[in-house]
């Protein structure tokens, strides 16, 4: 964008109708790759002629036909995945004006820039934080409670008709992750073998055979609308209001089983190697209890919560807990440490799954 194009956005962000752009710079922002519809994340910032600083976060989203890892899916599944993946969801959520519970908000959307070719840039508020938030059990509980309130505000009649968890499981889990777990060479790999107990491979395979019944069981549970990808990295803690969360990177907006958001809340920092496997049980108990309180805040029952939370968590995360996509990287102490924690995560999730009614 030119300075002239940026001027209306800067004026809006600063609430200064006379502001003029003096300088502009663009810098990429580090982010954890995940959603296949995310292209890039960058900060566009600068100053005005009167010395005021301004900045935006620009998130580029696109159809998954532009996803560089599309080739990892089985060839027969790719066209269907492209056809059904709801890549525009985040743009629609930001533009919706959705009412959120106290303590939760979205970044301000300044511009939705349709670039054509199924690509969109979202010009968003640059939320200032106090650096990486400390995620102790108190913060986990606060996040889970506000997510429970969000679910309580938007109950749904049942599963939606669009793509959702079932499509993800068919394509990502059964089409890619489970075949990788069934390869004997995985369990002999020096990044996996030292940390996997003898039963983990068998237990994950047992759960893989239960996937159809787990999906059917979820359909019968109470459903709600939700954030869809409520990992800690997507719940920013603003410097000006550290008792709030600013929710970014909204995911699935089809109705989901009650408790669905707790899965990503639990595994988000574990995926990054920031949680020890031994910490997972306490976080698990804390978030489930706090989410139930959030439902009660909105006058909703916690019926089906444990089953919805654990079953969707296992389906979404147990089979992808071991980062098999990184097995070809050079073995370093840092990577070995990540695999130790991720194999521990797989063990914890497998145990949760085996505890579900079969």
Residue 74's pLDDT band, with cuts at 50, 70 and 90, is: confident
Retrieve residue 108's tokens.
């301000």
Whether 163 has a pLDDT exceeding 80, the answer reads: no
* DSSP 8-state assignment for residue 313: H
For residue 92, give its domain range. Answer: 3-125
Please identify which residue in the block is written with the tokens 């109470």: 222
Rounded CA Rg of the chain: 21
Whether 230 has a pLDDT exceeding 90, the answer reads: yes
Q: pLDDT tens-digit profile of 81-92?
A: 888 888 888 898
Between these two residues, 68 and 33, which has the higher pLDDT value? 68
Cβ atoms of 356 and 310 closer than 8 Å: yes
Strands (E), the chain: 21-28, 38-48, 53-62, 104-105, 109-116, 119-125, 155-156, 223-224, 235-236, 245-247, 256-257
Residue 131 lies in a domain: no
SS3 10: helix
Q: pLDDT tens-digit profile of 314-335?
A: 999 999 999 999 999 999 999 9
Whether 34 has a pLDDT exceeding 70, the answer reads: no
Same domain, 152 and 101: no
The strands making up 109-116's β-sheet, listed across from edge to edge, are 21-28, 38-48, 53-62, 119-125, 109-116
Angstrom distance (rounded) from CA 33 to CA 36: 8
- pLDDT value, residue 33: 62
Residue 71's pLDDT band, with cuts at 50, 70 and 90, is: confident
Q: pLDDT tens-digit profile of 96-130?
A: 888 999 999 999 999 999 999 999 999 999 999 97
The helix (run of H) or strand (run of E) holding residue 312 is helix 305-313
Same domain, 84 and 161: no
- pLDDT value, residue 251: 84
Residue 249 lies in a domain: yes
CB environment 84-120: b (16+ within 10 A), e (fewer): ebbbbbbbebbeeeeeebebbbbbebbbeeeeeebeb
Same domain, 19 and 90: yes
> Phi-psi region for residue 287, left (φ > 0), alpha (ψ -120 to 50) or beta?
alpha
Residue 57, domain CATH: 3.30.200
Retrieve residue 8's tokens.
């209306």
Residue 296 lies in a domain: yes
Residue 132 lies in a domain: no
Q: pLDDT tens-digit profile of 257-295?
A: 999 999 999 999 999 999 999 999 999 999 999 999 999
Same domain, 105 and 172: no
Whether 148 has a pLDDT exceeding 90, the answer reads: yes
Cβ atoms of 143 and 235 closer than 8 Å: yes
Same domain, 96 and 165: no
Domain boundary among 125, 153, 171: 125
- pLDDT value, residue 161: 58
Average pLDDT value over all residues in the chain: 92
Same domain, 67 and 182: no
Same domain, 70 and 166: no
Same domain, 28 and 116: yes
Cβ atoms of 261 and 147 closer than 8 Å: yes
- How many domains does the structure of the chain reveal? 2
Q: What are phi and psi of 154, to 5 degrees?
A: -130, 65
- pLDDT value, residue 2: 58
């Amino acid at each position: 964008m030119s300075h002239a194009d940026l001027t209306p956005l800067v004026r809006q962000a600063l609430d200064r109708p006379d502001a003029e752009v003096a300088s502009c710079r663009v810098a990429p922002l580090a982010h954890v790759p995940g959603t296949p519809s995310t292209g890039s994340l960058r900060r566009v910032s600068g100053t005005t002629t009167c010395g005021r600083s301004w900045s935006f976060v620009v998130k580029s989203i696109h159809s998954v036909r532009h996803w560089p890892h599309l080739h990892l899916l089985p060839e027969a599944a790719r066209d269907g995945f492209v056809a059904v993946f709801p890549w525009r969801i985040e743009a629609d959520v930001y533009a919706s004006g959705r009412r959120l519970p106290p303590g939760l908000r979205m970044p301000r959307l300044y511009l939705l820039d349709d670039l054509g070719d199924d690509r969109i840039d979202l010009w968003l508020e640059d939320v200032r934080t106090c650096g990486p938030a400390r995620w102790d059990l108190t913060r986990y509980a606060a996040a889970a409670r506000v997510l429970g309130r969000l679910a309580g505000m938007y109950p749904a009649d049942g599963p939606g008709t669009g793509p959702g968890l079932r499509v993800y499981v068919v394509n990502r889990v059964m089409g890619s992750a489970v075949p990788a777990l069934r390869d004997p060479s995985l369990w002999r790999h020096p990044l996996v073998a030292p940390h996997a107990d003898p039963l983990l491979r068998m237990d994950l395979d047992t759960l893989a055979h239960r996937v159809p019944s787990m999906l059917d069981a979820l359909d019968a549970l109470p459903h709600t609308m939700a954030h869809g990808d409520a990992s800690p990295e997507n719940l920013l803690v603003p410097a000006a209001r550290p008792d709030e969360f600013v929710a970014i990177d909204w995911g699935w907006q089809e109705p989901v089983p009650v408790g669905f958001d707790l899965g990503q809340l639990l595994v988000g920092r574990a995926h990054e190697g920031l949680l020890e496997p031994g910490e997972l049980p306490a976080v698990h108990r804390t978030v489930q209890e706090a989410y139930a309180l959030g439902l009660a805040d909105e006058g909703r029952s916690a019926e089906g919560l444990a089953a919805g939370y654990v079953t969707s968590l296992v389906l979404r995360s147990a089979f992808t807990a071991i980062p098999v996509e990184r097995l070809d990287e050079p073995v370093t102490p840092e990577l070995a440490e990540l695999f130790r924690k991720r194999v521990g995560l797989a063990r914890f999730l497998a145990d949760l799954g085996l505890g579900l009614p079969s």
